[in-house]
Structure 1
Amino acid sequence: MLIGHIKEIVRHPVKSFHGESVNQTKIMEYGLYGDRSHAFLDDTRQGKFLTITQFPEMARYKARFVGEELMDKYPKVEIMTPEGKILNWGDEELNKEIENKSDRKISPITYLPSYVPLGAIEEENIQLVTDASLDKLKEIWGKTEVNHRRFRPNLLLTLKEKIPFIEENWFGKRMKIGREVEIQLKRHCERCMIITVDPDNAERDSTLLKTVVKERNNHFGVYASVIKTGEIHVGDEVLLIE
């Protein structure tokens, strides 16, 4: 059953940095190619990553891959700082800036193109949200807009029938995207303070999280796991497989 199309594909080459919109990419067993493949370990908290929760301004650092998606190595990761300076992943200047601004000792880590572990990515391979649910949340929140980047999804779906939160009825079902890819809808995405951070200016607004907690039982968006890998493109048809 055709339920809609892919409106936007978003991946985050660096965990907690502003992601990049891409017209097409590979779906790996772990999720989008290179999603959260580069990260900073927070040396003040053993085994934990530095994220927007500890350092909200991370949301203003824009990361993107520059080059071909290869299986043996990643393309160059280019980063634009909030001040507009262009740096590359691995530059000591970037590491020092993050340490100084966050007031934490950090260690950069890079995973393989073939494997990024859960935890670095999210709690599941892929997170998706729908346009109908975003529009309804905007209405509930009472604001003029809700930037979907607050929720850090991988896939933004535009639905054929604009039924808010219909995706929460799909748990256990499979979804086919384009010609190759299949994913299985797993469960709710429980929200945290990260959605309170405006991805454009890192300003905080706690009322969004309070609204999601009160009106949506702290759920917005859904998680999915990868069943069949392949390529996806913006505009691909999305089919729900009963």
Structure 2
Amino acid sequence: MGNLLSLNSFYTTPPEAGQALPPVQINWPNGAYVISNSGDADACLSESVGRPVKLTTTRPEEVSLERMDPLEAEETILDIGEIMMEGRFSDYAAIHMLTTASLAHLTSLSPGINFEAGRFRPNLVIESAAGREGFVEKDWGGKTVAIGDEVRLKISDPTPRCLIPTQAQYGGIEKNTKVLRAIVEHNRLPVPLLDNEVLPCVGVYGFVLQGGSIRKGDTIRVE
């Protein structure tokens, strides 16, 4: 993996609906950067990762994922081509979301560990209503989450966690192996996607039923 998690990126111009996505600028902690469609991008990323890699906008037919088993501390190769969305590079669903209630609950169970949302790399962080405590989203499977006036997401599975949340990452997030140990101890759930294997989970996966704009402060409803 090299120092890949220390990088960050942003679109060079705002994306527009119905148009091809613009290139992204990839930034290194030392201030260096490269544009994704430049001739230097592959070489720069290969150096950071420590092996030859290539940026592509076309997903290959066969896709495998190198994943460290969080319970066995062993590397496994998973064939995930059948569960990935067509034309997408995400592991499974279009959206990963988690709640502030879950993060607060982990903190209360394991004081002294920083469970900042960025560790878990969600698309959406949902601020839980006052009085809602615990791993509230674990009961959302099969339900619909409505966001604002437009967006509706179908919740499928809890999100199983690998070793990534324990690693140092962009934004000043420090390495801490205790993060995953706490999740293993306090929130292991059956994951339907993986034949109901019981795994450490934080957050949930969602598929887009109805698209639209999401704005900070939008009301969230679970139906």
TM-score normalised by L of structure 2: 0.75
1:175–1:184 Cα contact (<8 Å) kept:
yes
Quick one: distance in 1 between partners of 2:48 and 2:210? 41
Match of 2:4 in 1: 58
Shift of 1:111: 4.9
Mapped pair 1:197 → 2:143: no
Mapped pair 1:139 → 2:108: yes
Quick one: distance in 2 between partners of 1:132 and 1:118? 33
> Which of these residues, 234, 237, 241, is aligned with residue 216 of structure 2?
234
Match of 1:110 in 2: 57
Match of 1:10 in 2: none
Match of 2:21 in 1: 74
Name the CA shift for 1:62/1:158 in 2 (closer, same or farther; >3 Å): same
Report the number of matched residues: 184
Deviations 1:138-194 (A, max 9, x none): 222322532211111110000113322111112111111111111111111110011
> Which of these residues, 129, 135, 141, is aligned with residue 160 of structure 1?
129
Match of 2:66 in 1: none
Shift of 1:203: 5.0
Name the CA shift for 1:205/1:97 in 2 (closer, same or farther; >3 Å): same
Identity of aligned residues (%): 23
Q: Secondary structure at the residue paired with 2:25? A: strand
Quick one: distance in 1 between partners of 2:41 and 2:19? 25
Match of 1:25 in 2: none
1:60–1:202 Cα contact (<8 Å) kept:
no
Quick one: distance in 2 between partners of 1:120 and 1:207? 29
The one-letter code of the counterpart of 1:142 is P
Deviations 1:66-120 (A, max 9, x none): 32322221123112112112321123333212212322111211259xxx74761
If asked which structure has higher relative contact order (CA below 8 Å, sep 6+), I would say 1
Name the CA shift for 1:66/1:183 in 2 (closer, same or farther; >3 Å): same
4+ runs deviating over 6 angstroms: none
Quick one: distance in 2 between partners of 1:72 and 1:119? 16
2:12–2:25 Cα contact (<8 Å) kept:
yes
Quick one: distance in 1 between partners of 2:2 and 2:87? 22
Shift of 1:56: 4.9
1:59–1:202 Cα contact (<8 Å) kept:
no
2:141–2:157 Cα contact (<8 Å) kept:
yes
Quick one: distance in 1 between partners of 2:91 and 2:101? 23
Q: Secondary structure at the residue paired with 1:101? A: helix
Match of 2:196 in 1: none
Match of 1:214 in 2: 185
Name the CA shift for 1:147/1:202 in 2 (closer, same or farther; >3 Å): closer
Quick one: distance in 2 between partners of 1:56 and 1:103? 6
CA RMSD of aligned residues (A): 2.1
Is the strand fraction higher in 1 or 2? Answer: 1
Q: Secondary structure at the residue paired with 1:68? A: coil
Q: Secondary structure at the residue paired with 1:123? A: coil
Structure 2 unaligned regions, length at least 5: 60-84, 189-199
Structure 1 unaligned regions, length at least 5: 1-54
Quick one: distance in 2 between partners of 1:100 and 1:229? 38
Shift of 1:198: 2.5
Quick one: distance in 2 between partners of 1:138 and 1:111? 40
